[in-house]
Amino acid sequence: MDRIAQRILKEQSEYLTELREYSSVYSSWALVEEELQRPLEGVSGSVSTCCRAMEDLSENMSQDFLPVLREYVLYIESMRKRDQCQAEYEGRLEAAVLRRQEDRTPIPAEVEKCQDKVECFNADLKADWERWQRNKRQDFKQLLTGMADKNISYYEKCQSAWESLISVLQDKQTDSDKTTETN
């Protein structure tokens, strides 16, 4: 999920770069075409509004979504580390028990160190596990709902920007129709 979020952020960044280029192209074009100046400036303004909305969306994702997601990824990695430590302990304990049965030697210090590590991990894990179980469903629900709301807001801003351009384009069409009728 973290990789997917990173990819989305990268694609948003690339899209934002393209939008900025389009905005400046339409602005430059408006300076050259006097007849189309208002519609082209309108398109440039709409694209600029979409740029600002995309900047907000990307910023919210990188500040709100990714840190929480990374925290859960780190938690999962610590669980894997704990499982590896547990497996190492069990392997060494089993080997020590076999040697002890054969040689009647005491359990080596390595096994006791592994046992201490496992006990420390278990104590930390128990507290974290209970907290994580309580919070994970609610956290992800809030996280994903928040992202959905921010995406909706982004699309509403873009829609509003483009809808505001409709009247400018209709005015231009009306002006063109009047010019055609007088000729």
pLDDT above 60 (res 183): no
pLDDT above 80 (res 174): no
pLDDT tens readout for residues 37-52: 999 999 999 999 999 9
Domain positions in the chain: 2-145+153-182
Share of the chain above pLDDT 70, in %: 87
**pLDDT category, 105, cuts 50, 70, 90?**
low
Q: Which residue has the higher pLDDT, 19 or 72?
A: 19
Q: Return the CATH number of 2-145+153-182, one of 3.40.50.150, 1.20.1270.60, 1.20.1250.20, 3.40.50.1220.
A: 1.20.1270.60
Amino acid letter, residue 87? A
Per-residue pLDDT at 46: 94
pLDDT above 80 (res 120): no
